[in-house]
Amino acid sequence: MFGMKKLGLILCTAVLGVGLLAGCGSDTKKEAQLTQTAGVLKVGSETTFPPFEFAEENSNKYIGFDVDLSEEIAKRLGLKLEFVSMGFDALIPATQSGNIDMIAAGINATPEREQALSFSDPYFNEGGFITIVRKDNTNITKMDDLANKRVGVQIGTVPVEMAKAIPGTDVKELDSNSNIFMELKAGTIDGAILDQAVAMYYLKQGADKDLKLVGEGTKAPGTVFGFNKSNTALRDKVNGVLKEMREDGTYQKIYDKWFAK
């Protein structure tokens, strides 16, 4: 046994001598392998999803709950955050191809997505989905009343299948939540199904002059970060950081910034 340990020490010393650090106790290579680009955590998101992620007014800077969490995660992993905006339906392909390391877009771990991605532990367990209509609409008072109606949903999201499961719906898949709100106001759709936290945020920003929530929200399935299925190392590191953030109060501070009443 001692001989084997000594042989390992000699081999490791020799490798270090020629500057090849992999496999002999150096963490540098291991940490670099967490992400596609060494030292950078590239996070993809669909950035019209306040209060989770959206562009600051009159600025190209992205802000929101997911952005703040991603910044803290990158910091604790010793990485620089690069936040990338793209269409929601492009996020999974970008993760699979290695163009981004992590999805932070208010996503839920559905069985279909589990075939393409691995997921963090849930980091947001509130919200669910709810119906929103024009304020002058008196015919739709709950989600089931969307039957035989024109329903707006964001492409690639859980509400797409929810809307299609309601009998007779004419489902219109739109690129962003902002487009959903515009079409509701214009009357080109009768109602929409979307994330309750997002809907409530829009109403607080002034949309309640024209729109209202109806019925009860669905049970929240839990919001997660998404990763390439082969990159379990990054997923596990992120789970560890989320646990630390909850224990030391950092998570609560970020939560209160965006969701405190």
Q: Looking at residue 208, what DSSP letter applies?
A: G
User: 118 φ, ψ to 5°?
Assistant: -110, 160
List beta partners, residue 247: none
More confident residue, 201 or 71: 71
**pTM of the shown model:** 0.72
Residues 253/260, Cβ–Cβ less than 8 Å: no
Percentage of residues in the chain having pLDDT higher than 70: 87
Q: What is the mean pLDDT of residues 174-181?
A: 92
pLDDT at 20 over 90: no
Query: pLDDT at position 204, please?
Result: 82
Q: How large a percentage of the chain has pLDDT more than 90? A: 69
Longest Cα separation, the chain: 83
| Higher pLDDT among residues 177 and 69, named by residue | 69
Whole-number Cα distances in Å, 18 to 4, 23, 26, 27: 22, 13, 14, 17
**pLDDT grade for 6, boundaries at 50, 70 and 90:** very low
pLDDT tens track for 224-245: 999 999 999 999 999 999 999 9
**pLDDT at residue number 261:** 58
